[in-house]
Structure 1
Amino acid sequence: MQRGDVTVFSLTAILTAVVAAAVAFSLLVFDGDRSTLVSDNGSDSSWLVMTWSPSFCKAQPANAGCQSGELSGMEQTLILHGLWPQPRENQYCGVPQHVKEAASRSRGDVPPVDLSDEVRAGLKSTMADSSHLALHEWYAHGTCSGVTPDAFFGDALALAAQVRQTLDPVFRDAAGGQLPVSAVRARIDERFGAGAGERVGLSCLNATGEGAYVVDVRLSLPSVEALRSVDRSLDLGTLLKEAPPLKSQCGHGVVP
């Protein structure tokens, strides 16, 4: 081996070692500290999204949760879909591409997320197929929230309980008929004060041959990171009044 060859070989070895160290460091930071992989990303508001479970399976019968009976067997209640930092483009903050691809399918090799037993139990009773959906929701939305996974899901659960208490009766009363967004907003105004209803909208999906079903209720809130600074008790009425108005995706739909 010539002297020049030794020099090239040495430089190549050094560069290889540097690249390997950088890759190892990036993996260590992501994998070892996934519970605090967060980014505010300039969000100034968020949406709490709740799904009416009977409607979802009408519109998406091929969904795994509907096929397994987990969703179709649930009582008539709103279930937690997610807590989404706005604007909606705020997704997968700092998440490596291979994790993003797996999480977007809610299947595959998605790194686990550290959650307390209390939060896990709450998700199991409030979110359908929580073992998969919670991972998707964390990597897609939670990583842009500015808070830890336990705070992200814990706050979502506390807010979801208030939504259920307020709106479950509205959906149950409308079962078998049409539910206009005006009825939902009127109930929110009645419960939390005039103007709060402007922060609430509906999302609908079409079921073949049966028209549009109301699937989601979306509630506009302050940014996830600011929720407890606005109101430490997470009072839904207070938070709604501090959030921007929300345009409803549909004006009315069927409630099964």
Structure 2
Amino acid sequence: MPFFRWARIWVLSLSGLVLTGSIAAAAVPQDMQDFNHYTFAVMWHPGVCATWSNAGPACKDLSPAAKINQEWTMHGLWASRPRSLLAAGMNGPTWWHYGCYWYNPEHALPKGSCANPPLNLPEALHQRLYAHMPMAQICLDRHEYYKHVVCFGETPEQFFPKELDLLDKLNASAFTAFIRDHRGQWVARNAIMKAFADSFQVKNADALELRCENPSHHIHELERQGNILTQAWITIHKDKVDAFPAPESLEKGRKGNCAEKIHILN
């Protein structure tokens, strides 16, 4: 496909450590900017630490008093498929698997997130990001940038403040207060969805996808079904990111995988 062959010319190999995030916006094909929405993905840190076997040093502070355990932490901000890739026949699972890695020679994936080059962020941005993305300690920041951002032409200095501003707005909401106030409890999925709809003044919570996972060890028999809250994915229209969380910024997304009762870990 001509577009794919051409695209490889300007997105270079990770093995050469040249993907620094400094690709000039002018070098990005215009149609890469033509996509519909973002998926804004945030984590509930205690749930992630209970279910992810590879979290390691990112989970060294699980005190209920720690700020990262009282609010959402950052996962990512993922662009949907550009229309050029839709027209070329790329399906959804392929895009979610590769993202910007598609443009590496032979579509090569890195051997782990830490195989990506360091981002070398300005100190103030580094401090802010690591305060709100504990999984950056296992290189989630690198993975998110090189998989979901670099081929769209934004530098880390352009992208991460936008993402963190969204997180600040979400964590200031009544929805996050509801989650925080129900830590340590089993909560009806519908009650969480209603809290989202009420907080953001929408008729329903179809922009919200709740993600639950199995624990690394069983705390309760019901958790064998995978009912520990780990993430929330919110669909935001690409051109209305600045308006988030206004109702007009939200779009219908996918259904989540959580059961009727969800354990919000403390």
Q: What's the TM-score once normalised by structure 1's chain length? A: 0.72
Distance 1:93 1:182, change over 3 A: same
Q: Deviations over 1:138-196 (max 9, x none)?
A: 11111354533222211110001111122332122222222333223322322322236
Tell me: CA distance 1:165–1:174, structure 2 relative to 1, closer, same or farther (3 Å).
Answer: same
Aligned counterpart, 1:8: none
Structure 1: where are the runs of 5+ without partners?
Answer: 1-22
Quote the offset at 1:69 in angstroms. 0.5
Q: Quote the offset at 1:71 in angstroms.
A: 5.7
Give SS of 1:178's match. strand
CA distance 1:26–1:63, shift in 2 (3 Å): closer
The equivalent position to 1:35 in structure 2, one of 22, 26, 29, is: 22
Alpha carbons 2:12, 2:104 under 8 Å: kept? no
Task: Work out whether 1:199 is the aligned partner of 2:207.
Answer: yes
> Would you say the 8 A contact 2:41–2:232 is kept in 1?
yes
Q: From 143, 150, 156, give the equivalent of 1:143.
A: 150
* Equivalent position to 1:214, from 210, 229, 236: 229
Q: How far is the alpha carbon of 1:200 from its aligned partner?
A: 0.8
- SS of corresponding position for 2:125: helix
- Return 185-194 or 68-77, whichever deviates more: 68-77
CA RMSD of aligned residues (A): 3.3
- Relative to structure 1, is the Cα distance of residues 168 and 79 closer, same or farther in structure 2, using a 3 angstrom cutoff? same
Quote the residue 2:123 is aligned against: 117
- The 1-side partners of 2:122 and 2:43 are apart by 24
For 1:69 and 1:214, how far apart are their aligned partners in 2? 19
Q: Which segment is superposed worse, 29-38 or 151-160?
A: 29-38
Please list, as runs of the form range in 1=range in 2, the aligned pairs for 1:72-151 lying within 5 A after superposition: 74-87=68-81, 89-90=95-96, 91=99, 92-96=101-105, 100-102=109-111, 105-108=112-115, 110-113=116-119, 115-130=121-136, 132-151=139-158
Residues 44 and 73 of structure 2 are in contact (CA less than 8 Å); yes or no, is this contact kept in structure 1? yes
Partner of 2:177: 169
Contact 2:21 2:150 in 1 (8 A): no
One-letter code aligned to 2:131: S
Q: 1:96 to 1:159 in 2, by over 3 A?
A: farther
CA distance in 2 between counterparts of 1:58 and 1:248 reads 19
1:39-95 deviations in whole A, cap 9, x for unaligned? 6275311111111111111112542235x6046664322100111122561512534
CA distance in 1: counterparts of 2:170 and 2:160, whole angstroms: 15
Q: 1:64 pairs with 56, 64, 69, which one?
A: 56
Which residue number corresponds to residue 5 of structure 2? none
SS at match of 1:153: helix
Confirm or deny that 1:255 pairs with 2:264. Answer: yes
Any idea what SS the aligned residue of 1:179 has? Answer: strand
Rounded Cα–Cα distance in structure 1 between residues aligned with 2:108 and 2:248: 32
The one-letter code sitting in structure 2 at the alignment partner of 1:237 is A
What amino acid does structure 2 have at the position aligned with 1:255?
I
Q: Percent identity over the alignment?
A: 20
1:102-153, CA deviations, whole angstroms, 9 ceiling, x for partnerless residues?
3xx2223x22335343322221111014251100111111135453322221
Distance 1:53 1:152 in 2: 22
Between structure 1 and structure 2, the one with the greater Rg is: 1
- Alignment partner, residue 240 of structure 1: 249
Q: Which runs of 5+ in 2 are unaligned?
A: 1-8, 82-91
Q: Is the 8 A contact 2:236 2:244 kept in 1?
A: no
> How far off is 1:245 after superposition?
3.5
How far has the Cα of 1:239 moved from its partner? 5.4
